[in-house]
Structure 1
C-alpha cells in the first residue's frame, strides 16, 4: 500500500491517491506516526505535482511539517526546484517552515536564493521576512550565498527587502563580507552594485587583515582589477597592507576565500562555531525585536484608535436627547436652541469641546497612520522605521492624554475644581518628566550614532583627497 502511494506521488496521480485512501482511510497518518526517509508530500513537492500536493494538504496538513532524512521539509524541495504554486500551498499551512534548517543548515529562503528562483524568493520573503536574516550553519548570510552562487538579481532583491547596514556588512567565519567574496570571484556586476547602490563598508578587514582593495591586483595589465580599484578609491577605499600582494599570493588568498567552509559545513572548528553562534543569536535577536515591536505597535495602535473613535461618536457629557433651549438649565438658554443627537459639551463648553476634538482627532489619525503603515506591505523592517513608528505612537498617546485632561476640566464642577487642578498638575509633571527622560536617552543614542557616521564619512573624504601612497 505504501509503495503504491509513493508511485501515485511520483506520477502526481490524484485519482489513485483517492482510491488508496478509500482502501485505507489512515494511510497518510502512517507517514506521521512512522519513520520514513520521506513522505509522499516530499515526493510530490519535489516533482511539482500541484493537484496531488493540494489534496494531501487538504486531508493531512501536518505532513507539510514533516522532515525527510536530510531534514528537508516539502517547502525546501519546492524551493530548490522553483515550484511557486506548490510553495504557496505549503506556506498556507505553516509559514514558519521558512525558518527550518535542513541538514546543511539552510532554510527554504537560502535555497531559493542560491537557485535564483526570484518569484518564489519574493513569496518566501513576504511570508517570513526575518527568515532571510537567519545565518546559515556555515556562518554565512543569505547574501553570501547569492554572491557565491552568482545570483545578482536575488542579491538585489534581498538587499532591497530584507537587509540593513549591519546585515549587509555581516562577516562569515573567516571575517569576509560579501564584497570580499565578490572581489575574490571577480563578479564585476555584483561589485559595482554593492559599491554604488548599498552602504557596504569598503574598508572592512577580514580575519587575515585584508580589505577589499588588498584583494585586487596591482598589475596595470589586469584591466578588470584596475577598474574595480578605481571605483573603490573614488568612495574612499584604502589598503590595510602597506606592501601589495604578489600574483601568486593574491591567487592563493582568493582561492582560500572562495573555498572556505562552504562545502564542508560540519568541518567548522569549535571556536568558529561559537563565534557563529553569537552572530546567529544576534541576528535572530534583532529579527525577534523587530517582530515584537511590530506586534506591540499594532496592538496599542488598534486600542487607541478604538478609544478615540468611541470618544468621537460618544463625546463627554453625551448628546442631547431632545430639541430645546441650550445652556446649563432651561431658564439659562442664552437665546440658543439645542438639537437632539448633537454634543452637550459643544453647546455648554464650546472651547473645551474644540480642544477635546483637536486632541482626540490627532490621537485617532496617529493611530490609524501606524496601522496603515504596518499593513501596507512596505519594507518597514529596519530599526529606523520602528523608531519612527514609535515616535508617532508617542504623539497618539500624548494626544489621548490631553483629550482626557480636557474632558475632566469640562466635566468637573466648580467646588471640586481646585482638587482637580492639583491632581492634574502632579500627573502632568510626572508625565513630562518621563517624556523628557525618554527623549534625552534617545537623543544621546542618536548623537553617538551620528558622530560615528560623521567620523567614517570624514575618514573617507580624507582618504579620497589624500590617499595613502602605495609602496
Structure 2
C-alpha cells in the first residue's frame, strides 16, 4: 500500500503552525478612536428617530395626563381634559411642548425625505427642538413642579442638545471643549 501524500494548499498561516515566526506588529503609537460626528449619521437612522419622535408627540397630544372627564359636571363636559380644567397653565405648557415637538419632527422628516444633508441646520435644529420638547411635555405633565422650573429645565436641555449637535470637533479634550464653549458664549452674549 502506498502512503497518501500531503498536499500543500498555499494558505498563509501568519507563522502559526508552519514553523515560521509570526510577523512583528508595527511599532506605531496608538491612535485615538475616531468618533463619528453629527454629520456622519446615516439618514435612515435620523429618519427613524424623527418618525419615533413624531409618533410619541402625537400620542402625548391625544392622550393627555390625568385623562378626561367621564360625565358632565360644574364647568366641564364629558370628554373635556381634566388637566385643562384643573391646571390651565400647565395644560397649555404641555400642549405647546407636544405640538412644538410634533411640528419640529415633521419638519425634520420632510427635510430628510427631500434630500437635506443630515449635517445641515435644517436637520440639527429641529432635532434639538423636538427632542427637548419631549422633555418639556414630560416635566410639564408632573403637577407638583413649578412651571418656571419646568421652562428653565427645558431651556437647559435645549442648550445641551444644541451644543451636542453643533460642536463638530469630537477629538477635543475637556479643557479645550470648555474653552471653545466659553469663547462661543463670549462672542454671542458679551459684546
TM-score, reference length from structure 1: 0.25
Q: Displacement, 1:381?
A: 4.0
Structure 2: stretches of 5+ with no match in the other structure: 1-35, 170-179, 184-191
SS at match of 1:359: helix
Partner of 2:164: 438
Measured at CA, do residues 394 and 345 of structure 1 come closer, stay the same or move farther in structure 2, by a change above 3 Å? same
Q: How many angstroms apart in 2 are the aligned matches of 1:349 and 1:397?
A: 24
Q: Displacement, 1:382?
A: 7.2
Q: 1:289 aligns with which of 15, 24, 40?
A: 40
Q: How many angstroms apart in 2 are the aligned matches of 1:405 and 1:441?
A: 27
Partner of 1:315: 64
- The answer to whether the Cα contact below 8 Å between 1:355 and 1:406 also exists between their aligned partners in 2 is yes
Q: What does residue range 375-390 of structure 1 map to in structure 2 within 5 Å?
A: 375-376=113-114, 379-381=115-117, 383=119, 385=120, 387-390=121-124
Measured at CA, do residues 406 and 373 of structure 1 come closer, stay the same or move farther in structure 2, by a change above 3 Å? same
Q: 1:358 aligns with which of 91, 96, 110?
A: 96
- The answer to whether the Cα contact below 8 Å between 2:136 and 2:154 also exists between their aligned partners in 1 is no
SS at match of 1:351: helix
- The answer to whether the Cα contact below 8 Å between 1:322 and 1:339 also exists between their aligned partners in 2 is yes
Question: Following TM superposition, where does structure 1 have runs of at least 4 consecutive aligned residues deviating by more than 3 angstroms?
Answer: 427-437
Q: What does residue range 16-415 of structure 1 map to in structure 2 within 5 Å?
A: 289=40, 292=42, 294-325=43-74, 336=75, 338-376=76-114, 379-381=115-117, 383=119, 385=120, 387-408=121-142, 410=143, 412=144
Measured at CA, do residues 313 and 320 of structure 1 come closer, stay the same or move farther in structure 2, by a change above 3 Å? same
SS at match of 1:340: coil
Deviation by residue 1:204-225 (Cα, 9 ceiling, x = unmatched): xxxxxxxxxxxxxxxxxxxxxx
Q: Displacement, 1:311?
A: 1.1
- The answer to whether the Cα contact below 8 Å between 1:297 and 1:390 also exists between their aligned partners in 2 is no
Q: How many angstroms apart in 2 are the aligned matches of 1:354 and 1:298?
A: 28
Alignment size in residue pairs: 134
More helix as a share of residues: 1
Q: Displacement, 1:437?
A: 4.6
Q: How many angstroms apart in 2 are the aligned matches of 1:304 and 1:373?
A: 15
- The answer to whether the Cα contact below 8 Å between 2:72 and 2:78 also exists between their aligned partners in 1 is yes
Higher mean displacement: 339-348 or 431-440 = 431-440
Q: How many angstroms apart in 2 are the aligned matches of 1:396 and 1:359?
A: 9
Measured at CA, do residues 296 and 382 of structure 1 come closer, stay the same or move farther in structure 2, by a change above 3 Å? closer
Question: Which has the greater radius of gyration?
Answer: 1
Measured at CA, do residues 374 and 382 of structure 1 come closer, stay the same or move farther in structure 2, by a change above 3 Å? closer
Structure 1: stretches of 5+ with no match in the other structure: 1-284, 326-335, 448-471
- The answer to whether the Cα contact below 8 Å between 1:308 and 1:363 also exists between their aligned partners in 2 is yes
SS at match of 1:324: coil
Q: How many angstroms apart in 2 are the aligned matches of 1:440 and 1:371?
A: 19
Measured at CA, do residues 440 and 392 of structure 1 come closer, stay the same or move farther in structure 2, by a change above 3 Å? closer
Q: How many angstroms apart in 2 are the aligned matches of 1:429 and 1:358?
A: 14
Measured at CA, do residues 406 and 381 of structure 1 come closer, stay the same or move farther in structure 2, by a change above 3 Å? closer
